[in-house]
C-alpha cells in the first residue's frame, strides 16, 4: 500500500503573503509622499522633502535643487499636483517595497512671484519605479529612490529586468553599482 504524500512543512515554504490592507497602506503612503512633494514645491520648502525621502535618495537632491532654483529665480509653480496609477506592487521584505506606477503630473503654470506667466506646462504621465523603505519596523515608509523607466540606457537595460523593474545586480533598490543608504538599512 502506498503511503500518503506528506504536506510540506512550513520551514520548507518560502512564500510571502501580503494582505490587501498592507498593500493599501503602501499605496496610501506613496500618495502621502507625493502630496508632501507637491506641498514642498508649492511652498518652496526643501525641509518638507526631508520628512518623506531617505537622506540619500537621489530625488531629494534633484527636487531640492529645483526648489532652490525656484527661490533663486523668484518663480512659483501654480496648480502643480501629482498622482500615481499603480501597475505593480511588490514586497521585498518588511522594510522594502517596490512600486511600478505611472507618475501623472497635472498641467500647471510657472510664474514670477508677481504673477507674470513664464510658461504653461502640459499634463504628462511617465512610468516610474518607486522604492519605499523603512529604517526599522514600525516607522513610516520613506522614498528611497525613483527611476524613470522610459529613459533607461542600453547599459542599464542589461542590469534591469523590465518585467519586475528590479535590478539584476548591484543595489537592491536602484541601479547604482554600490549599495545606497536605503539598502544598507536592510
- Look up residue 168 and give its three cell numbers: 539584476
Q: How far is residue 141's CA from residue 69's CA, in Å, rounded to a whole number?
A: 28
Q: How far is residue 59's CA from residue 27's CA, in Å, rounded to a whole number?
A: 19
Q: Which domains does the chain have, with CATH numbers?
A: 18-150 (3.10.450.240)
Phi and psi torsions of 88, nearest 5°: -155, 140
Helix (H, G, I), strand (E, B) or coil at 104: strand
Question: What pTM did the predictor assign?
Answer: 0.72
Q: What is the pLDDT along the chain (186 residues), one digit of tens a residue?
A: 544 444 444 333 334 567 899 999 999 999 999 999 999 999 999 999 999 999 999 999 999 999 999 999 999 999 999 999 999 999 999 899 999 999 999 999 999 999 999 999 999 999 999 999 998 888 999 999 888 886 545 554 445 444 444 433 334 444 433 434 433 333
Amino acid at each position: 500500500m502506498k503511503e500518503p504524500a506528506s504536506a510540506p512543512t512550513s520551514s520548507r515554504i518560502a512564500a510571502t503573503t501580503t494582505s490587501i490592507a498592507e498593500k493599501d497602506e503602501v499605496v496610501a503612503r506613496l500618495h502621502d509622499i507625493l502630496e508632501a512633494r507637491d506641498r514642498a514645491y508649492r511652498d518652496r520648502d526643501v525641509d518638507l522633502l526631508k520628512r518623506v525621502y531617505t537622506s540619500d535618495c537621489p530625488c531629494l537632491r534633484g527636487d531640492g535643487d529645483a526648489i532652490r532654483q525656484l527661490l533663486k529665480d523668484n518663480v512659483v509653480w501654480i496648480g502643480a499636483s501629482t498622482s500615481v496609477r499603480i501597475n505593480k506592487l511588490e514586497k521585498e521584505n518588511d522594510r522594502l517595497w517596490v512600486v511600478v506606477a505611472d507618475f501623472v503630473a497635472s498641467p500647471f503654470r510657472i510664474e514670477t512671484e508677481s504673477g507674470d506667466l513664464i510658461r504653461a506646462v502640459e499634463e504628462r504621465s511617465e512610468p516610474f519605479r518607486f522604492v519605499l523603505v523603512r529604517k526599522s519596523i514600525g516607522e513610516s515608509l520613506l522614498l528611497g529612490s525613483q527611476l524613470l523607466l522610459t529613459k533607461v540606457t542600453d547599459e542599464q537595460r542589461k542590469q534591469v529586468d523590465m518585467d519586475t523593474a528590479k535590478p539584476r545586480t548591484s543595489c537592491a533598490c536602484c541601479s547604482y553599482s554600490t549599495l545606497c543608504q536605503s539598502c544598507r538599512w536592510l
